[in-house]
Every structure is written in structure tokens, then in C-alpha cells.
Chains A and B, each alone.
Chain A
Amino acid sequence: MKKRFTSMLLAILTVLSLFSTTALAADAPQPDVVRGSRINIAEGSTSIPASVKVTPAYFDGQNLYYSGSINKYVVNTNGSATINLYAHVSTSETNSLLSDFYTAAGENANVWIVESIFDIYNDVWGSYGKYYKMTPYGQYLFQVDADGTKTYNLTPDTSSYYDVSITTYYAVENTSSPYTIGISGGYYYYNNVNHSIQSKAVGTLVIFNDN
């Protein structure tokens, strides 16, 4: 009788143990799972750089002009650049891009336009992105806050996936030395599982004269 009770107790404990292990595993933060270019989020939210496009432009003091056909564009297709996406543009490529703009527009480019696209992935528990707080690099031509950063507030959206486009502007530097433009900083999101605001580093940077 005692032996049968012990066996039953052991069986119950084993089942409870399995339950407990399963519950713990479900509660623990899961690693991001890359599925092609998409990411499944077990808990919280994340943002990864999807692409960066750099376009030469001409600013005449009042307006900026660019050609919709002249740019360099790179896609982060495998999702492995989870923090910063870099564009390396050699000196000859930099010069070609500027020359192409002159051909298309008849003006010398003095501004770079950088369009950064970030993908946002949310969990199924109602977590959502709140804002990006970015630090610009290079001779940027847009206004920033007193701390040198610029905040882009997001409308709360718990969709599993959407993307955000941020366009920024920089002076073309008259140098053959490498220089970097772009934005890098943090993606801040509300984690609806543990009810806290968390962040994740993200950015897109373009390096010119990078040979």
C-alpha cells in the first residue's frame, strides 16, 4: 500500500514538474526566430533596419531638389543586421553618385537624403512601439532636441508587423576622407507582458569614401 502511494506521489510530482518546466519555458524571454526576413516575437517588440536609401540632392537656400531615379539602395534581406545597417560607399562610387545627379538634374549636389526603413515586430500580447530616439551623424541639416537627439513618436499599433520610414538630410562634405551620415539610437516599446518600457538599439549609417 505504502509502495503504491509512493509511486502515485512520484507520478504526480513528475507531472507537476513537467507542468512547471513548461510554464517556466513559456514565461522566459524567447530568442528572436528569423524566418526569412520576418521575425517572430515571443514577448515584447523589436525593430530592425530593413533598408537604407541614399539620394543626392541640391538645396538652393529655399527648396531641396532631387531626382527620383538617382540613389543607392540596400536591403537587409536576411535580418541578420539586427542593430545597425551600414552602407559602405567607396570614393569612386561617391563621385559617380554625385556625377549622376549632375547628369540628371544639371546641378551639383550639396545635400544627401537618407531614407531609413525600420521594420517593427510585435508579440501577440499587445506590446507596441512607443518611439525612436536617434542621434544623427555627420553634418545634419535638420533640427534636433537640446540633448542632440531627435525623437520620432509612434502611434500605438499592436499589429504583428509594420514599417517606419525616417528621412533625414545631411551636407555633402567636400573631402575624399571617409565620413559617416545617418541615425543611430534606440527603439523604445511598451512590453504588455511585464508592463514596462524597454528599448533596443537600432540605426542606419552611410559611410562615404569608404574604400
Chain B
Amino acid sequence: MKIGGTTSPYANYPSVKPLRDKRSDGTKEEATDSLFAKYLNAKPAENFTSHVKVGYEHGSPFCQLLDDYRAWKQDQQDAALPSVDSSEAEKVSYLREHYSDASDGMKLFDALTAMKDMGMISQVEYSYATGGPLIRVSKEEMESGSFSTSTGERDERTYWGGAFMKSPLVSFHGLDDIFNWLEEFRKEDHPFSISQAEAKLLGII
């Protein structure tokens, strides 16, 4: 993967408005054209004082999506997924049958999860689709700890939401978007992990 280049998996679906853009009045631009706008527009927990218990809604946007997905899944009828050993055609047929009309984020995310469960996509591909590669810290870095100073305002949403905020997933609007992204993604090799410096260059931490 070329860091910061046009072949970055994040560059494939630029339709989601970048959250760091600001309106003329200085307020944040909100994502409205994503099926996952609810999570993209979530705000970090505030006022942690007085020993207020932190609710799960204070997890990162992707944690919130996973939490909602678990609850949503419980209300769905069990469908027998083709096994990992089934043919590719059978798996695609299953996806077409169950997710061609996927017009809400939860169902689309379910399709992506089903693809992982059926072995159609690898763990690494799933990680990239929902965020990015894992970020790597060496043993030496861990043992010494890290320390930095900065001035100016932090972009809280990027800092909190991380790679999910720019993930291909948040730009998917249908099953074909997943297939198209996967086809493009597989044209290049992608590392299992990247260093923190690379992640900073990509703007995902």
C-alpha cells in the first residue's frame, strides 16, 4: 500500500464528506450521505467528572456500531449461511438473495460480516473495510512509553473515531459497492499492520 497515495483504500470512496471540513461559521460539517451517518456524527463522551458512570454509548463510533449490530442481530431470523467450503457462486447467490435490497447500514454491515463468516473475505480485508490495518508498536516503544506535546485544537472526532471514520464501509450504499471495493482492494498487496508513524501520515490516528 502506498501511504498517502491515490491507491490508498481510503481513496476509493470519496463520496462521504470529510468530517474535518468546517462550515463558514466554524461548526463541524456533518456526514449526511452515509448509511452510517449516525456513527460518523457521534460525539465523544463529555463531562466525565463526579464519578459519572460511563455508558457504552461512549465507546468509539465503531464500538457503537458493533454494539447496535449485536442488538439488531438478535431480532433477525436465523438464516443458514453457506459454509466456508461452499462454492463461490453459492455464496454470491446467497448474498444476492439476502442483501440485494440492503439499503440500511445495519443490513449492509451484516452482509460484510456474512462474507467474513463464509470465508469470502479475510480478517485483514474485513479490518480494512471497517477501518484499516492494525497499528504496530514495537516492544521497545511500549516499554519506554510515549510522550508528546502539541498546541492548537485537536480534531476530537478523528482522534476518537480513528480509521473507521474514513473506512470504505461508511461509503458503501449497496452490496455492489462491497464487491467493487474488494475487487480494487485485491489488485494490490496490503500489509497486516503499519507503524504509528504511517498511521499518522494516513490521518487515522
What is the interface of chain A, defined by CB distance below 8 A to chain B?
Answer: 51-53, 57, 59, 61-78, 80-81, 85-90, 92-93, 96-97, 99-100, 103-106, 111, 117, 141-143, 150, 152, 154-155, 157, 159, 161-169, 210
A65 & B193 in contact (Cβ 8 Å cutoff): yes
Report the separation of the CA atoms of residues A92 and B54 in the bound assembly, to the nearest whole angstrom.
Answer: 12
Q: Cβ of A97 and Cβ of B148 under 8 Å apart?
A: no
Contact B137 A88 (CB under 8 A): no
Knowing A68-B132, A97-B63, say if A166 contacts B145 (CB, 8 Å).
yes
- Residues of chain B within 8 A (CB-CB) of A168 are 145
Q: Are B149 and A72 in contact (CB under 8 A)?
A: no
Which residue of the partner chain A has the closest CB to B156? A75
Extra inter-chain contacts (8) besides given A69-B131, A106-B123, CB under 8 Å:
A69-B130, A70-B63, A75-B46, A86-B51, A88-B54, A92-B56, A155-B149, A163-B149
B55 CB, nearest partner CB in chain A, Å: 8
Residue of B with least CB distance to A164: B149
> Which of A73, A87, A92, A141 is close to B159, meaning CB atoms less than 8 Å apart?
A73
Per the bound structure, the CA–CA distance linking A103 and B163 in Å amounts to 15
Residue of A nearest to B59 (CB): A72
| Contact code string B44-63 (vs A, CB < 8 Å = 1, else 0) | 11111111111010111111
Nearest chain-B residue to A104 (Cβ)? B127
Check B47–A73 contact: CB distance below 8 A.
no
Assess whether A71 is in contact with B147, with CB atoms less than 8 Å apart. no
The smallest C-beta distance from B193 to any residue of chain A, in angstroms, reads 6
Question: B47 contacts which of A76, A88, A142 (Cβ < 8 Å)?
Answer: A76
Residue of A nearest to B204 (CB): A68
Of all chain A residues, which has the CB nearest B52? A88
- Measured between alpha carbons, how far is A164 from B163 in the docked complex, in Å? 23
Q: Are A100 and B63 touching (Cβ within 8 A)? A: yes
Point out the residue from B56, B144, B205 that lies within 8 Å of A68, measured CB to CB.
B205
Q: A63-B136, A87-B54 are in contact. Are A70 and B60 (CB under 8 A)?
A: yes
> Which of B48, B136, B167, B199 is the one whose CB lies under 8 Å from A86?
B48
> How long is the Cα–Cα vector from A103 to B129 in the complex, in angstroms?
12
Q: Which residues of A contact B144 (CB under 8 A)?
A: 142-143
Q: Which of A66, A80, A96 meets B49, CB within 8 Å?
A: A80
- Please name all residues of chain A whose beta carbon is closer than 8 Å to the beta carbon of B49 when the two chains form the complex: 76, 78, 80-81, 85
B97 at interface, CB cutoff 8 A: no
* B-chain residues with CB within 8 Å of residue A161 when the two chains form the complex: 151
Task: Report the nearest A residue to B150, measured CB to CB.
Answer: A163
B3 at the interface (CB under 8 A from A): no
